A and B are shown apart, each in its own frame.
Chain A
Amino acid sequence: MVLLWAFFNDTLTATPGLEWLPAIRLRMEFNSVGFMAIFVPCTFVLYSLVRDTRAANWVLLFASLGIYATVGLVYLLPLLFTCLFDYLVGAFLARSSDSRRRTAAFAVSVTVQLSLLCLFKYTGWLTGEFNKVAVMAGLGVTISQIVLPLPPGISFYTFHTISYTADIYQRKFKPVGTFVDYVTFVGFFPQLIAGPIARASELLPQVAARRPTVSPIECERAFTLVFWGLFKKTCLADNLGLIVSQAGEAITGASPGGVGYIYMYAFAAQIYCDFSAYTDIARGLGKLFGIELTRNFLTPYLAKNPSDFWQRWHISLSRWLRDYLYIPLGGDRHGKLVTLRNLAITMFLGGLWHGAGVGFIIWGLYHGLLLVVYRLVPVDRILHRQFRAAGSILATVLMFNLVCIGWIFFRAAPSELLPLFGSLGALPDIAQHGVLLWGLGLFGAIVVATELVAFPYGVEFVDLVDRFPWPARAALYVAIFYAIVFFASRSQNEFIYFQF
């Protein structure tokens, strides 16, 4: 009832006689009150009531589509089309033994899905760029810029469904469950908008199976992930985001020297906290419903080389790109030159996947270049050979700074690039930018400290909490609660990866 009230609030309260119903705004954002205080508890209660019946996935499906529809009812169309189309293709691929027809069906599926993604994501940008080039070249021909609203999460669910058909096509996976299970796998609300990008072979069997009651340990673990994620998003990412914005403004101010450092380090910390917070919350929510989502981060800024970084950053995307792009391109099986080409192509497309913009493409190419350079000159190994432990630390520091430089391409507008890189020639002026430096130190120190604590254990900080004795866990929960009360940015901000 509460879910119905929340989903149909606008029309219910518009109905004569029901004006008295309290107005409520449900949003897809994890850091919104409606989502956490109403949607999740209600869905959990409803799910728990029918957990061991076939209705369990109907509840998850209804809740997932319902909360997704709060972004816009119309966005359900591409999502449901994608689900239906690939479900049918998957069924065909599983049954058919005609390799030519199977190949054709798979090709059609990938083409349709990528076309849909391109239509929504890149058409506006491409037509705009075409017009710019046409004007610069004096062609005298322009075309109407087509700007379609981007369905949230389309980049993620397109990759979900491609992995489904690809795995069936390669006979790595057999379809399981019903259509309802399949749509629940694609549209499962914790991972619908920003991943982790689930592999059908890992997630669909979990969705299709009857899931046991969540144990108290898993329940507390779910709570820890959600709570820690909210802390990282509201107290760290959003506050660091303010510093990034203000550094971006200061770059055009009277004393821009060194501001680029504040900008790139603050953004490096912001995007990590923001995206890993989303993943933590998604994983926590998944656990509540008995579904284990893959991890996406593993102390990424302590990587020693680009390859190591991509095994720690956005792990689910890296794996997807490796398995469905890099390896099909030939991987490292056809000599060094082809390997380097494949790395560059993979990272270029990885950059383009993030969004329609020159910055993302440069960022992808930049990471491709790093991978190529480190393949040719293994800087980290050289440093380690030369200086042992100090060399490893040096390699980590170097890699971290190389990653941070890449974030400038990712975040800044093209017009900001020159001033930002220009400002790196000096150190920040404490008198001018003391407040921003203090903010960066204050919020950034927590990121650094938790990374360093977790790194030796090969996990993220939140994974260590289970190992604390219960009084320490209780103290941590109290501390996080008051950190959120006092230091959470109260301007509610979307997760950065929502735009992709």
Chain B
Amino acid sequence: MSSYISSFRALFCAIAVIAAIETSYAAMDGSSSVARSGYLNWNFNTPDLFHKVIIYEKLSHAVAMRPDVIQVGDSSGFHAIVPSIVDRYLGGLKYANLSCCANTGFTGYYTIAEYVLDKVSTVKAVVLYVTLYNFPRDPRQVLTSFVGGQDRLPMAFGWIAPFITPPTLAARESVVRPVYTLDGSLDEPAALPVETSPSFGDLARFIRATDGWWPEHDTHLSKSRQDQREPSICALGDAWPDDGVYYTPDIFGRPQSFTRLDLSRLADLTARHGAKLIVLIQPNPCPHVEGSFLEARRKDVAAVAAKYENVVVADPALFEPWPWRNFISSDHLRTGFEEAASSRVGRAVAAALGLSMVPVEQRTEPNEPSSGPVAAWSGAEFGGTAWRKENVTLRATPDGTGTIATETSGPGWHRIEITVPQLPAGTYVASVVFRAHGERQVQLELRAMDPKAAYGFVRCDGAAGESWRSIRMLDSGIEELPDGSFRCWGKLDLPESGGVFTLDLIRNGTSPGPYDGNGRGAVEYIRAELSRVPRQAYLPNQ
């Protein structure tokens, strides 16, 4: 027998060495269990998926902040629910928004909840916040493979994780970095990118500072375009059937509702941890959701609530109609309605937890707050020396109310830019009133003196009546003025004094950026302003 066992001595020796290394490392290493999960790839020269990095940051933060209530679900809640607003209703309890995206699937929501419940004993409730469109269904209908909702998330954070993730996995980043970058001599982002977006670090800090919230990055429309678009928000069909994708056969071949199964799992999980499961559905603008689908889901949810004492269904109707104008799509709210949505969650959680402290509601409208401009330019001032020009020629309009910027021939940015060194730190709305000439539109940029500290842009397309902003811009908008010109604006937090304001020409229907000017494309700038605005209370201090 001993000779039989000794035949395996090479294997046993290797296992003993590995066990010793892993045990020692686990004892000495201070990195979090999230870092040990191996959820981020740290692959050679390949960016990790944006959604994965978001989940990673949220879980890291949640374990550190030890919240009392956590929210899981799809992106509707990620963008709509601001924890600091919900906190107002919770009498000192802390709320964390761990919602990410529908493509984690319910397995993903479950795993995220399971992980935090295991690590943070203070959690009293889990809020499941999803839209009607993301009720559980056949996993093959949900594109979870990228984020790893079906396998990667459970393997990194689920019950099996401790068995397949050695502690040294936490050191993967620090080991591969010098190897893949040739000890720093190679271009690091190319050799070892986690996320290619240059604004990502900014976003991660924002998410941590807000306990998981990130403003909706919606395209805003001018009023006339919004009026045209609103009916299309609900143009999904007349009826919504309760079809087969919402059911799966059990071992006896009987159809079982995915909703009952997945909610039961979540209910069971939360019950095991002595927490409540609060089911809350995002408001919806579309009447067509009423029908056999919604009826079936109501029955499913009610059945689970009847079975599990810890389940609270905040709105048993599951359908709270809100006006079209509050939405950018049938499942995402427009920026500015997070106050209302978050207060709704706050009230529901407070009621579910039996908290009596309900504050007076503070509603804010989704309009840009107004205040006097800190700096303003108009008419022919754009042609003055304060504005630096790049690949444009500037001439005042005959009536002197504006300046026409005409691109030069040749490649490059076609822009004007001004530095405002005396600008105090704060939140600013940068705006420009412009008139499009032909096929050129405007991109507005605002940044801190050091662009790494703050940088954002808004692309304003008067022809389409749309404004679209970069992730750091807190909000943006476009308004059509009575004289046919457009006012485009974007809101940005400048963490330090001084700023740079840039106005770029961009082409209709193509990606913005440097382009070959034709010597004719032009835009008329009428007025530009920088206005300091009150900070919304829930914005983080960065």
Q: Which residues of A contact B (CB under 8 A)?
A: 8, 10-16, 18-20, 22-25, 33, 37, 215-217, 219-220, 223, 239, 242-243, 246, 434-436, 438-439, 442, 470-471, 473-475, 477-478, 481-482, 485-487, 489-491
What 9 A-B pairs are tightest by C-beta distance, nearest first? A216-B7, A477-B14, A473-B10, A474-B13, A15-B250, A470-B10, A490-B41, A14-B250, A474-B14
**Stretch of B127-135, B155-163, B277-285, B485-493 lying at the A interface:** B155-163
Q: A246–B43 contact, CB under 8 A? A: no
Q: A25-B150, A474-B17, A485-B172 are in contact. Are A15 and B45 (CB under 8 A)?
A: no
Q: Smallest Cβ distance from B214 to chain A, in angstroms?
A: 25
Q: A33-B160, A435-B190, A485-B168 are in contact. Are A10 and B248 (CB under 8 A)?
A: yes
Query: Which residues of the partner chain B approach A436 to less than 8 Å between Cβ atoms?
Result: 45
Query: Which B residue sits closest to A490, measured CB to CB?
Result: B41
Query: Which residues of the partner chain A approach B154 to less than 8 Å between Cβ atoms?
Result: 23
Query: Which residues of the partner chain B approach A486 to less than 8 Å between Cβ atoms?
Result: 168, 171-172, 175-176
**Residue B41 contacts which of A18, A220, A477, A491 (CB distance < 8 angstroms)?**
A491
Q: B45–A243 contact, CB under 8 A? A: yes
Query: Which residues of the partner chain A approach B179 to less than 8 Å between Cβ atoms?
Result: 442, 487
Q: Smallest Cβ distance from B410 to chain A, in angstroms?
A: 18
Q: B265–A242 contact, CB under 8 A? A: no
Q: A20-B268, A477-B11 are in contact. Are A33 and B155 (CB under 8 A)?
A: yes
Q: A19–B261 contact, CB under 8 A? A: yes
Q: Which residues of B contact A (CB under 8 A)?
A: 4, 7-11, 13-14, 17-18, 21, 38, 41-46, 107, 150-151, 154-155, 158-160, 163-164, 166, 168-169, 171-172, 175-176, 179-180, 182, 186-187, 190-191, 248-252, 256, 261, 264-265, 268
Q: List 9 A-B contacts (CB under 8 A).
A: A8-B251, A10-B248, A14-B256, A33-B155, A220-B10, A438-B191, A471-B10, A471-B13, A474-B9
Q: Smallest Cβ distance from B120 to chain A, in angstroms?
A: 21
Q: B169–A487 contact, CB under 8 A? A: no
Residue pairs across A and B with CB atoms within 8 Å: the count is: 124
Query: Which B residue sits closest to A25, measured CB to CB?
Result: B151
Q: Smallest Cβ distance from B72 to chain A, in angstroms?
A: 16
Q: Smallest Cβ distance from B152 to chain A, in angstroms?
A: 8
Indicate the member of B38, B44, B256 with the most A CB atoms within 10 Å.
Answer: B44
**Residue A478 contacts which of B14, B160, B249, B261 (CB distance < 8 angstroms)?**
B14
Q: B268–A477 contact, CB under 8 A? A: no
Q: Smallest Cβ distance from A434 to chain B, in angstroms?
A: 6
| Given A246-B46, A436-B45: 15 more A-B contacts, CB < 8 Å | A11-B248, A15-B251, A16-B250, A20-B268, A216-B4, A435-B187, A442-B179, A442-B180, A470-B10, A473-B14, A474-B13, A478-B17, A481-B18, A489-B44, A491-B46
Q: Smallest Cβ distance from A219 to chain B, in angstroms?
A: 7
Query: Which B residue sits closest to A431, measured CB to CB?
Result: B187
Query: Which B residue sits closest to A216, measured CB to CB?
Result: B7
Q: A470–B41 contact, CB under 8 A? A: no
Query: Which residues of the partner chain B approach A223 to less than 8 Å between Cβ atoms?
Result: 11
Q: Smallest Cβ distance from B156 to chain A, in angstroms?
A: 10
Q: A435–B166 contact, CB under 8 A? A: no
**Considering the chains assembled together, what is the distance between the CA atoms of A19 and B150 in angstroms?**
16
Query: Which residues of the partner chain B approach A442 to less than 8 Å between Cβ atoms?
Result: 179-180
Indicate the member of A24, A219, A435, A439 with the most B CB atoms within 10 Å.
Answer: A435
